[in-house]
Structure 1
């Protein structure tokens, strides 16, 4: 968020910081509006003319909803994952063309607009010192994420204690695999554990609850580090869990190394998708290839993976077992569970055929 956007409004030169998704270009043409039809708005947006909404805030939300409805109704249904992702990226870029201006104190001058200081601080880490120009659809996502952050997600495997997750950190809302981690037999002995790519810190917390005395949780995302630290402190587990900002492994060895990497080998099309997509399974393969070098004698590697990439034709069913074997590891136990999240049972989603067959597994591995 360091690019300044300029536009002219009522004959005056205006400027604000650009807060749109970094994977899409900032607008070069901006037109201010307070009333327009969805069809007219789309015509401008398809010509790369961004629309800065000055009308009633709730009418702006209605306009965005009408735009999305028109775009989605005309969208082609792609059973092919790559075509589906391309279309998603094109839609995301289009929706980024309807803007809202936010003042440094989180106020929005539009009629009936809420104060969004909390949501903005959640995303950017500190209050703005200048006006911010933001796509309305991103702002609505920030507001929704902020409410989830405040409310928290109840975790059955933590006796219904809550994990609080801000925007940009993977949330355990679909946490069927957490119970697998809570119930799987630990290696013997198991005095130390590492949670690689900890995100919210939920896996580290479950391992601490199981009595492991020394746990290191790592991540390379500063937002995830701050999130995990806050959750671990809130749960009273700072005596057992150390959070470390690093890529993959810390120094030394552990009795148990656990990782829940991104499940889909694709390029993220937005900043928030980096927890979901791992191009060419780079993180997964790096983790597997290095894990044995950090494992104590009789230690185990626990890998949490979904097979949805196989159902989408993005990974063969033989690939993961081959990578495990090539890393000098062997499977000692594998536990499967079916997803319980609502998307797994949708029948009209373009990728429903894969989602309906998805299985999530806990792979327990040891040295060959």
Structure 2
């Protein structure tokens, strides 16, 4: 039986046995953090006697709390602290609401990431009622490198959820077969942009580049519709591994190649497609890079390099949401200015309103913008006679 735990609200009395300790000299452990935070130099062991109020006070002081109690109680503690971190900033504009939301999410991530757990040399989590986490850990990190591994509990929970998605697979509209996403790779649960691709004419026999491929879902849709071949790139090794595995599962590996690259592969293609990060803000961690693109650097470089990677008569396909414009992060007309600068013109467009859950959630701080979000598929070609 796991030890009893007091309700999360009874958290003002610190547990008497919790004394900070330093790792013994020579005692090695591996530290994993998606935000590249440095390894903690001191851990404070805590157990089921610690309530949310006391925990939050200690986390705000910068302590790293090493949870040693019951797994389900640890999850309840995370939830109770999250509720206490709710923010009440009043925003007068969509941009202010966005900034406040990001500050709140960053604070939540920083705070909760200081509740950590330790895994042994086989990635066994030694908490009462803990699930087997070894497979999820090996999928993300490979084999253990030290006798112990320390990881934020919230991150480990995310890895367990991702492992379940990877096991079960995800149905994607228009895709024959299931997609099996990996941890840390953008999950295409928002299918608006995927469905735009289903109406794409003249795919058969085309050579395709997929820039920033993620899971590879756009490549696979085009291959199943008759594209001759796809060379896909991504700057994240996890995305490349994910795309390769899914190509094998779907029987498309012979016509599909995934490369770890900064942007374009070498050569030219008939179709060059990209669904770039759509929010021009700095990413806070590795996972953020699928959504956040500081100063629109990825998008600007994609547009700049597109003409030189198109075969004669080739087309660029850009999938882009207007949420950044609605939030005030980009001025109206920004994309048109970039296309002019890069000597590109729009051949045609197809658009769809957002249908994801946040677009319908009136309690969401960004509902005013998200409810008006539109995602557009732009077909881009070089300006005839352009420089």
TM-score bin (small chain): over 0.9
CA distance in 2: counterparts of 1:109 and 1:244, whole angstroms? 38
CA distance in 1: counterparts of 2:134 and 2:175, whole angstroms? 31
CA distance in 2: counterparts of 1:84 and 1:331, whole angstroms? 34
Map 1:181-330 → 2, pairs under 5 A: 181-186=197-202, 191-330=206-345
CA distances 1:165-220 after superposition (whole Å, capped 9, x unpaired): 11111111111211211211237x85311111111111111111111112211112
CA, structure 1 residues 308+178, in 2 after alignment: closer, same or farther (shift >3 Å)? same
Q: Is the 8 A contact 2:247 2:256 kept in 1?
A: yes
Q: Say which of 87, 94, 98 aligns to 2:115.
A: 98
CA distance in 1: counterparts of 2:208 and 2:254, whole angstroms? 14
Q: Is the 8 A contact 1:23 1:269 kept in 2?
A: no
2:166 counterpart of 1:166? no
Give 1:75 shift.
4.6
1:101 is paired with a residue whose SS is: strand
Aligned residue for 1:38? 52
Q: Is the 8 A contact 2:205 2:226 kept in 1?
A: no
Give 1:15 shift.
5.1
Give 1:91 shift.
1.7
- The worse-fitting range, judged by mean Cα deviation, of 224-233 and 104-113 is 104-113
1:212 is paired with a residue whose SS is: coil
CA distance in 2: counterparts of 1:58 and 1:239, whole angstroms? 45
Aligned residue for 2:15? none
1:158 is paired with a residue whose SS is: coil
Runs ≥4 residues deviating over 4 A: 11-15
Q: Say which of 82, 85, 95 aligns to 1:71.
A: 85
CA distances 1:101-145 after superposition (whole Å, capped 9, x unpaired): 111222111111111011112221334542111111111111111
CA distance in 2: counterparts of 1:31 and 1:151, whole angstroms? 37
CA distance in 1: counterparts of 2:59 and 2:349, whole angstroms? 49
Give 1:36 shift.
0.9
CA distance in 1: counterparts of 2:350 and 2:172, whole angstroms? 20
CA distance in 1: counterparts of 2:173 and 2:249, whole angstroms? 17
Note the residue ranges of structure 1 that are not aligned, 5 or more in a row: 1-6
Aligned residue for 1:47? 61
- The worse-fitting range, judged by mean Cα deviation, of 63-72 and 123-132 is 123-132
- The worse-fitting range, judged by mean Cα deviation, of 126-135 and 328-337 is 126-135
CA distance in 2: counterparts of 1:145 and 1:216, whole angstroms? 26
Q: Is the 8 A contact 2:166 2:181 kept in 1?
A: yes
CA distance in 1: counterparts of 2:362 and 2:320, whole angstroms? 23
CA distance in 2: counterparts of 1:353 and 1:296, whole angstroms? 42
Give 1:238 shift.
1.6
TM-score (norm 2): 0.88
CA distance in 2: counterparts of 1:77 and 1:138, whole angstroms? 30
Aligned residue for 2:193? 177
2:196 is paired with a residue whose SS is: helix
Instruction: Indicate the structure with greater strand content.
Output: 1
1:31 is paired with a residue whose SS is: strand
2:35 counterpart of 1:18? no
Aligned residue for 1:4? none
CA, structure 1 residues 12+260, in 2 after alignment: closer, same or farther (shift >3 Å)? closer
Q: Is the 8 A contact 1:190 1:255 kept in 2?
A: no
1:337 is paired with a residue whose SS is: strand
Aligned residue for 2:14? none
Aligned residue for 1:117? 134
Q: CA RMSD in A?
A: 1.9
Q: Is the 8 A contact 1:24 1:93 kept in 2?
A: no
CA, structure 1 residues 316+186, in 2 after alignment: closer, same or farther (shift >3 Å)? farther
